[in-house]
């Protein structure tokens, strides 16, 4: 009954079939490091999954196909991820010499995603922080 991070790459049909058969036995689920197509994303949302977005969308060579449909992710089903040490945002300015991705680069992912969704980065950051706290059952800090 713990939250699950499930990673799928180039195996949507099998992954979706297995997840569909097991979904009622699972707690919270995130499709980690989502890089698929719109129809795949909608299929996972129909299964009440969260969608995890990484620095992939900050890469002008790879993530561009997703920009058209990422605004369709309901705000309460969206999570930001680093996928550290991989997928460092390519839009970091000034450029960083290391190829290692780290949580400190999440603001670039949030900013890119906010622009795609036509939202303020601060609002998106607040929403995805609330989502992560709910997903992982983390209590808010005491004032």
Place of tokens 């036995």: 25
139, pLDDT greater than 90: no
pLDDT on residue 97 = 87
Indicate the average pLDDT of the chain: 93
Per-residue pLDDT tens for 116-132?
A: 999 999 999 999 999 99
CA 18 to chain centre: 21
Mean pLDDT of all residues in 56-75 = 92
* pLDDT confidence band for 100 (50 / 70 / 90): confident
pTM: 0.92
Q: Which residues contact 23 (CB under 8 A, 6 or more apart)?
A: 29, 47, 48
Per-residue pLDDT tens for 12-62?
A: 999 999 999 999 999 999 999 999 999 999 999 999 999 999 999 998 888
Angstrom CA distances, 110 to 4, 16, 87, stand at 22, 27, 14
pLDDT on residue 62 = 84
Cβ atoms of residues 29 and 23 within 8 Å: yes
Angstrom CA distances, 128 to 11, 16, 47, 62, 89, stand at 27, 24, 19, 23, 18
pLDDT on residue 132 = 96
95, pLDDT greater than 90: no
pLDDT on residue 128 = 97
* pLDDT confidence band for 10 (50 / 70 / 90): confident
Determine what percent of the chain is predicted with pLDDT higher than 90.
70
């Amino acid at each position: 009954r713990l939250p699950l991070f499930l990673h799928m790459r180039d195996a949507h049909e099998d992954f979706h079939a297995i997840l569909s058969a097991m979904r009622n036995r699972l707690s919270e689920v995130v499709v980690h490091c989502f890089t698929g197509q719109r129809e795949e994303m909608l299929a996972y949302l129909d299964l009440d999954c969260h969608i995890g977005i990484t620095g992939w969308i900050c890469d002008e060579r790879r993530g561009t196909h997703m920009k058209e449909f990422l605004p369709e992710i309901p705000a309460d089903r969206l999570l930001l991820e680093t996928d550290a040490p991989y997928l460092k945002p390519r839009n970091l300015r000034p450029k960083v010499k290391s190829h290692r991705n780290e949580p400190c680069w999440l603001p670039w992912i949030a900013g890119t995603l906010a622009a795609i969704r036509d939202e303020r980065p601060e609002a998106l950051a607040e929403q995805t922080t609330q989502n992560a706290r709910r997903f992982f059952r983390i209590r808010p800090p005491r004032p």
